[in-house]
Structure 1
Amino acid sequence: MRSLYFLLPGTDGKFACGGLFAELKTMELARQVCDVAVVTYQQREPNTLFLDDVLQQDTRNIIFVVSWGFHVPKLVKRLQGRAVVYHAHSAGYGFRLPSRVPILTVSRNTMGYWGQLCPSSPIFWLPNQISPEFSDRDQPRDIDVLVQVRKSSEYLLKQLVPALQPHCNVVLLDQFVDDLAGLFNRSKVYLYDTAEYWAQYQVTEGFGLPPMEAMACGCQVFSSVNGALADYLDPGFNCEAIGTYSTAYDVARILTAIQAPTAKPLPDDFFDPYREDKIVLRLREILTAVNQFFDHVAQHPADVPQLSPQRIRKLRFQRFWQKVSQKLPIAQK
């Protein structure tokens, strides 16, 4: 089993975000399967490998894991000739990857995107982890509505929240907290609306951890269902859609959920695929397949046509010409 080197621009300061934390969680899970290390490539950090130095060494027994969205094409080009895996959190960045780069997707939504864009690449589903602390502690809930400000839509913050505040206790979370699971366990309803945020960046919601973490803690979730949220959210059954038709319609449904909760607790097996033991089992199988794939790549060239823009244009022209050719004999008669 080759070692995994997770490439990150940095691990602190301006690089701190949900994607970084999810990647570091994945690295810790992978540690149960093989040797792993963090490698930074934009800033040097104490006691951390730096990419410039690593590339001066023998890298034949290393798989480089790239994940940082817009940096991926340049990193893949820089690592040409080496074993590289793309850990895809989101979709919509617009680049394609050579078939020698396996793709590990955190959601089925993202897997479908890459399955269409790069069908000749090895593609696997490896969901993000829901940590054990995210569970229902069966305690009193003193917060009626919890909202995380970051990534929330203008509608949510400027229309819906002001409309709710005269009627219930709304808590806006605008900074990092150590115990998010504790806040979820104190809250009756959690609001999440990111379609507007991701549309601005022209990429997708890659997984949407907060709504699932809130659900695991027993919150009633009102959420948008954009991108990978559609993997597990089912409006009317395990959540409610937000931003539906009018502010008054949203307010009425949220207040009803606060005053007379009707949502049934989700069974534990709903969260099983996202818990540590199941992810490690899946990761072991995936990494075994990936290692076998790179063994094959070392001995054989690629010969499956890639679905490049040029190939798509060629196929469209062939289809067009075939239709024209079929009509020509009729016109000649």
Structure 2
Amino acid sequence: MRRLYFLLPGTTSKFRCGGLWAELKTLEIASKICPAEVVTYRQRQPELLWLDELLRDSLENLKDAIFVVSWGFDVPKLISRLKNLNVIYHAHSSGYGFDLPASVPIVTVSRNTLGYWGQRSPHSLLYYLPNEISPKFQNIAGDRDIDVLVQSRKSSRYLIEQLIPALRSQCRVEVINYYVDSLETLFHRTKVYLYDSAEYWAVQGVTEGFGLQPLEAIACGCQVFSSVNHGLSDYLDPAFNCYKIAGYSQEFDMQRILKVIERFNQGDRHIFANSHLLAELLAEYRTENIISRLKVILTEINEFFDHRQSQRHHIPDLNTWQILKLRSQRVYAKISQRLHNGSSR
């Protein structure tokens, strides 16, 4: 196995976000399979490798390494800079608008993103490696003193300005607008978790890559009311393991949420009867499965980079001009057929 270099702009609080934690967690898992290190390229950190210095090494030495790029808007520039080296794109969100050469394998965190790249980059190697759900997120018996929990970041205006104020008058609502180091502790105290990110990502212009918090909440035994946009559709199944938030009217949301809280208060914590299906769902995102999948993926990617050293890419790219050409040919064929049918009458 080649050594993996995970390229990150930095790892300090300036870059703190879900994508950073997910990438560091992937590195931690990958290090159980092969050597793996963080390399920064925007913020120099004394304890970490610096990309400028690493690239001063000989090309021959770097052939025994794979660079993992993931940071959205930085990807095109990094791909260009690492030309002729072994590069993987670890894709979280989609919709950034760039294309990738077929020489760059793509590892996606959701099937939603997998489908996006399957269409946009049909000649690239594609893989699915979901994010991990930590063992800390388990359904633990105990009192749940928070009726409704919501994180203000990514939440819709409807959630913050309408639904939450209405719920406050009838139950205990906790709104998080600060960084939480141990989110599982809050989930273990919570009956209903609300997550509505569709509006946020529509404004951002890219997609919800995975949406870790609703799945972590489900693992902790919370009843989740969530949007089902982008990567969330990988695992959320309304009426079977969650409820769809913002369902037609505020009154209908209130009715369903208060009904769930009442059932909790009566001791019924198994709102969805298919507990076996929930266990199967969560197993896909636990560490054992992630390690097993990553071993298979890295083995094939290493074989691909061995092959690439002696074989050039020769499958025609499906770029904009090629698509226009094929569409023109299709239109021309239809017109020719109609003319032929007309003349033969």
Is the pair's TM-score, using the shorter chain for normalization, greater than 0.5? yes
Q: CA deviation at 1:266?
A: 3.5
**What secondary structure, in the 3-state scheme, does the structure 2 residue paired with 1:183 have?**
helix
Partner of 2:255: 252
Any stretches of 5+ residues in structure 1 without a counterpart? Answer: none
Q: CA deviation at 1:16?
A: 0.5
**What secondary structure, in the 3-state scheme, does the structure 2 residue paired with 1:271 have?**
helix
List aligned pairs for 1:101-140, cutoff 5 A.
101-140=104-143
Q: CA deviation at 1:301?
A: 0.6
Counterpart amino acid of residue 275 in structure 2: L
Counterpart amino acid of residue 51 in structure 1: L
- Rounded Cα–Cα distance in structure 2 between residues aligned with 1:86 and 1:310: 24
Q: CA deviation at 1:13?
A: 2.2
Partner of 1:25: 25
Counterpart amino acid of residue 191 in structure 1: L
Partner of 2:281: 270
1:195 to 2:206 alignment = no
1:71 to 2:74 alignment = yes
Deviations along 1:102-128, one digit per CA (max 9) or x if unpaired, are: 000000000000001001000000000
Q: CA deviation at 1:269?
A: 2.4
- Rounded Cα–Cα distance in structure 2 between residues aligned with 1:296 and 1:323: 42
Counterpart amino acid of residue 330 in structure 2: R
Q: CA deviation at 1:330?
A: 2.9
Give the conservation status (yes or no) of the 8 Å contact 1:100–1:121: yes
- Rounded Cα–Cα distance in structure 1 between residues aligned with 2:340 and 2:106: 47
List aligned pairs for 1:51-70, cutoff 5 A.
51-57=51-57, 58-70=61-73
List aligned pairs for 1:187-226, cutoff 5 A.
187-226=190-229
Partner of 1:178: 181
Give the conservation status (yes or no) of the 8 Å contact 1:206–1:227: yes
**What secondary structure, in the 3-state scheme, does the structure 2 residue paired with 1:293 have?**
helix
Counterpart amino acid of residue 263 in structure 1: F
Give the conservation status (yes or no) of the 8 Å contact 2:63–2:85: yes
Partner of 1:12: 12
Any stretches of 5+ residues in structure 2 without a counterpart? Answer: 265-270
- Rounded Cα–Cα distance in structure 2 between residues aligned with 1:5 and 1:43: 16
List aligned pairs for 1:294-333, cutoff 5 A.
294-333=305-344
Q: CA deviation at 1:264?
A: 3.8
- Rounded Cα–Cα distance in structure 2 between residues aligned with 1:265 and 1:179: 28
Give the conservation status (yes or no) of the 8 Å contact 1:152–1:194: yes
**What secondary structure, in the 3-state scheme, does the structure 2 residue paired with 1:222 have?**
strand
- Rounded Cα–Cα distance in structure 1 between residues aligned with 2:336 and 2:77: 43
List aligned pairs for 1:84-99, cutoff 5 A.
84-99=87-102
Counterpart amino acid of residue 315 in structure 1: L
Give the conservation status (yes or no) of the 8 Å contact 2:235–2:281: no
Q: CA deviation at 1:265?
A: 6.9
Counterpart amino acid of residue 308 in structure 1: N
- Rounded Cα–Cα distance in structure 1 between residues aligned with 2:338 and 2:250: 55
